[in-house]
Amino acid sequence: MALLQISEPGMSTAPHEHRLAIGIDLGTTNSLVASVQSGIAKTLQDQDGNTLLPSVVRYLENGDVIVGQAAQDSQLDDIENTISSAKRLLGRGVGDIKTLAGNLPYEFDTSDESINVPQIKTVAGNKTAIEVSAEILKTLKKRAEDSLGGELKGAVITVPAYFDDAQRQATKDAARLADLNVYRLLNEPTAAAVAYGLDQRDELNESENERIIAVYDLGGGTFDISILKLNKGVFEVMATGGDSALGGDDFDHLIAEWILEKSESNLTHHALVEARRVKEALTDNDEIIASIETLIDGEKGDWQGLINRSEFDEMVAPLVKKTLMACRRALRDADLEKEQVHDVVMVGGSTRMPIVREKVGDFFEKPPLVDIDPDQVVAIGASIQADVLAGNKPDEEMLLLDVIPLSLGLETYGGLVEKVVSRNTTIPITRGQEFTTFKDNQTAMTVHVLQGERETVEENRSLAKFTLKGIPPMVAGAARIKVTFQVDADGLLNVQAEEQTTGAKSGIEVKPSYGLTDNQIEGMIRASMDNAKQDMEARKLREQLVEADRTLEAIDSAMSSDADELLNEEEVQTLLTARSQLIAAKQSAESAEKVKAAIKHMEHEADFYVARRMNKNVNEAMAGHSVNEFDQ
């Protein structure tokens, strides 16, 4: 007789079938892995009891790879082959090296101009940021399998909210190299909200249906600010902001510059390593002695210097101010005032700096919450979501609603951009819009996908192009082409175009080979605000230029067809004069009003011609028929 196993409500009827899932915080400075065990989410330790894995990889000549603390300890001895902060290069192009990697002591191979992904030279061959990140993920995966004692079913990996398509795709590629099944990519601030929201749910007043939380995430290489609304298990990102090239590393660089100036040394990397130690020591001390080896005119020596917290605070104040400016923009995007924010959650090791906590508290006018370990909270939140996606909590009602950071749209005739999905739209999202042809008998259309906030093509970022063929020959404006944008839960984009009458289809999965440069996303948003009036004027002008082209196309087509039959020489000259005036207004492009006036003048001068053509077509249609036939 078979036995029936009885379990608690919501628990698996077969505990041995619990699917092993993990959450990974793939960080610039440190990385972590966490998992839900016996209903509790916690970070997993290595054999030495460490939860933090330094995001450092060292390549050896014999092909061996060292990851973590051992690699970090070798940085000064083997600078060229020991790679840190690889996350900053994920999804970046060769052209970004100067701005992103100017302070990294690596040698990049730029001999093959056809390769757009930065290649770091090592004794083990050229390595990309994707390969470096994959080694970190492999190490975390092994730690998880050793700790959990089984095969992993999947993982949720966190990324900065401001990561664009290229950076997200590079992260997924790294996971694929590490043989990890990725359930989804999760924005780091959202992961923190998951951990914080669930942890605090029982403490909320039952009368409060929702809470507004600002998640201030200052990591080693990136800064994110997200405004979230937590409501009955639904985590909705109302707005995001930040800087994908601002983090603790930049604070280190400022201290390193101070050390190099004071010591008169040129050992930049030695100074960076010491700068990180000094920064961390000043969290708990009012002053600290910095010391490094020096190399001056070929002579080795030692240098020591005292730095206190007030000097450090003054040094880094501009960086903290940049983060607060992003906070102000995020609140504006969410249409909120500071007073409406219930809590401010601090995420990332860099938020341990006293000046950061102080200034953030002053800005939001409330003390930030620091009761959850800022290093671990993201990994913990990711593990909670992974546990749900693995199917271990079938009754779990938690829902995550992220947003896209920049608008997505298409190029239309005249170099204009038609936004299809606006920035801060909740994802996943599928949205379609119909377009048509501009010219008669057009049988193909190039679909140009763009990202950004400006009104014209050249001011936005090109993501991809593809061609829709098989459009039946029709008069301009008759074809109906539906273009559909689909953004999945990871923020990755798929675009499809379909001609509605024939069903002809074409599409593309957007996988850019490079990412945005330093501050580009933030700059694009700021530029759209600063140039809003100018952009609208430019758009009005281009719309009138498009209308001018359409008017010229129509008059030219008509005159080539029946001008000899319907017009005398004087009338032809009248139309040609108006046409020349329209062309002149179009070419000068002084203002939308002048082009619009020239179009109206052309249409006014052609009114009699339009009437004659209409009468001609009616007479031709009625030839051989009586009026009574049409009445029937």
CB 220 within 8 A of CB 309: no
Long-range own/partner contacts, residues 349-353 (CB < 8 A, 24 or more apart): 349/29, 349/30, 349/219, 349/220, 349/248, 349/374, 349/375, 350/218, 350/219, 350/220, 350/247, 350/248, 350/251, 351/216, 351/217, 351/218, 352/280, 352/283, 353/251, 353/279, 353/282, 353/283, 353/316
Q: Is 375 a catalytic residue?
A: no
Q: Is 25 a catalytic residue?
A: yes
**Residue 331 to residues 58, 213, 334, Cα–Cα distance (Å):** 41, 11, 5
Q: What are phi and psi of 591, to 5 degrees?
A: -160, 160
Decide: residue 437, CB within 10 A, 0-12 exposed, 13-18 middle, 19+ buried. buried
E-only strand ranges, 372-531: 399-403, 408-412, 416-421, 426-427, 429-435, 444-451, 461-469, 481-487, 493-499, 505-509
CB 434 within 8 A of CB 482: yes
The catalytically annotated residue of 188, 236, 490, 535 is 188
**Residue 350 to residues 188, 223, 251, 355, Cα–Cα distance (Å):** 14, 10, 9, 10
CB 106 within 8 A of CB 31: no
Q: Give the three-state DSSP class for 353.
A: coil
d(CA 141, CA 135): 10
The catalytically annotated residue of 87, 138, 172, 586 is 87
Q: What are phi and psi of 461, to 5 degrees?
A: -95, 130
Nearest to 161 by CA among 201, 192, 207, 196: 192
CB 186 within 8 A of CB 382: yes
Q: Is 224 a catalytic residue?
A: no
The catalytically annotated residue of 46, 96, 164, 217 is 217
Q: How many CA atoms lie within 13 A of 293 on its CB side?
A: 10
The catalytically annotated residue of 25, 96, 522, 543 is 25
Nearest to 186 by CA among 174, 168, 200, 198: 168
Q: Is 87 a catalytic residue?
A: yes
Q: Which residues are catalytic?
A: 25, 87, 188, 217
